[in-house]
Structure 1
């Protein structure tokens, strides 16, 4: 069933309580998600976005309970990714001639995914569509997070349909930001930003400034995933501006992966001195072999410094460490310091490999790596303690 937002707007999407992985296996969704579709009924009727393909048939059937599909005058597709456009195939079988308003890049992506020549109407920033008493204004948001992304603003009610921006992978029967658990909400919001939008932070900042320069009042933000920002909706915009500006807290994260616990012992020694050298610092000690990678990346995003260690294996590093380093490189974190460590039995390349990967990812690697042959004795652990202290000193300069 639809959820009434106001006299003219209904949420007609789908809550995916069971979702645990998104973007294939790339993103963890511990709290599920939602695919938000919005039905606007004025003198003309517009549908904004659809749902992910597995829910397409149910989406169309539920939509029929809300409205005669033939009364839908326009479909607005803010983004062509399958979790937004997946309901189109079944929907267009019912209303094949209905125009689909989207960006030029969205036409390319939709044709490439569905191989259908639907009635596309290309729009760009500043283009408008009258629904009668209300007008929709389109704002391109390229690379937030696809080249085809856009937002749609509706006057009178002052609603920004923001697409992926300001969203969360968060399933809830409570539809508004002020009715859900605030800790959960902002945990999912920062995780979403850290893992998806970080590479485009400068574009995020520019787009928000562009929206602010338009001088449009925003009384509600309706994203494509998660809850709707109704109470003080601009609080999430303010958070995005903070997160977009090379975000970091007074936090150091030690990441390690270990075979026989030797690298773990080194990690603990490093952390011991860090807490003594800076009692106010938040320290996170994370075993990469046992921790969800997206949760790890969220901690990296929040950190001013990251120290990373791995055992050496086959002249290289352990697989979870290697995979995470590849993701870190792609996310293009800014303004963060890094260092490396690791234990070994024969060749001992892991710290150098990690250092190089961190440098390639844009981290400031400030000191030579710390490595230990076989099991660290007390003298080796003292080296680790000194290593941690030196890292804190670098951060304090």
Structure 2
């Protein structure tokens, strides 16, 4: 038996762990390195193993830093099976295709601007992502063991992080000796609004644990929700907009739920104009509605009774580019939710350009921001930021709410 790490060691992104046992090579996750742009080289580097030698990939969840290099794995020769929960499978398809599109766009941009130092080839393209999607095989069900190969059994446990997320226990038997390894994946709290809390297996010999927030205590979720609703209400009262850099998976859906609760409680005006300006988040919200079985029992019942937990009186899905551009003409009273969550790309950068200069507006950060990202630069107190070649003053009120992660 051998365990080696090829990402998410001495850092919090790029999860990729290799287990060798019984003549088989099992990968747990194959994620992107995320943060500043220089990480492009890390993502393009050799894996540290031959992709063609991997027999199977076990996927904990669909965030990019856990599934984002699967298309590169297939591009480099992986022909094995990817095993995940049904919700993770559907979300990972969305994430990988979106990532491929962004890599293709970046390659075209570099080619147009004649940047030196390479052929401007995308890290992977849409066909590579579709090849990865085609590698999904058996579906995992929480608590139900799967015999991968003789001597190797995997069991998925609900991790409570995002829809379909899992901690994975590998039971390995070799040379008459059995060892149980647990890969935690990213673990959610017990009080997620949409998901049940994490399941904690016992009888484990080795734990590979994520520790993104291992050095801090999170504040109470109810206090974080109250702070979020207060920030939205205050900006609305001032006549400004609210810009929320939003992660498309789980966080966007949770924020819609919090806004729904605020409206139902009378804390927020039911006429509040809310725009989900992220094609990926819109598609993810549709996937959530299809996987009622993966949510809290009360949310499952709501969906099966025909009630939509993601419906607000004035919630607008702006999927098309021209719809997004039209939002920049709104000067007050709008809640603009857009990606990317760390502001490294996406439509949110346009909304920041148009709203950061105005003191009556607010920007609310609701998730992790890696060093070097625009989100972290703003959170750390920058008075000016560069967007689309312009120096933009940061006059808007900046809120950082840490209790949602």
Of the two, which has the highest radius of gyration? 1
TM-score class, shorter-chain normalisation, is: 0.3 to 0.5
- Structure 1 length as normaliser, TM-score? 0.42
Structure with more of its chain in helix, by fraction? 1
- Structure 2 length as normaliser, TM-score? 0.41
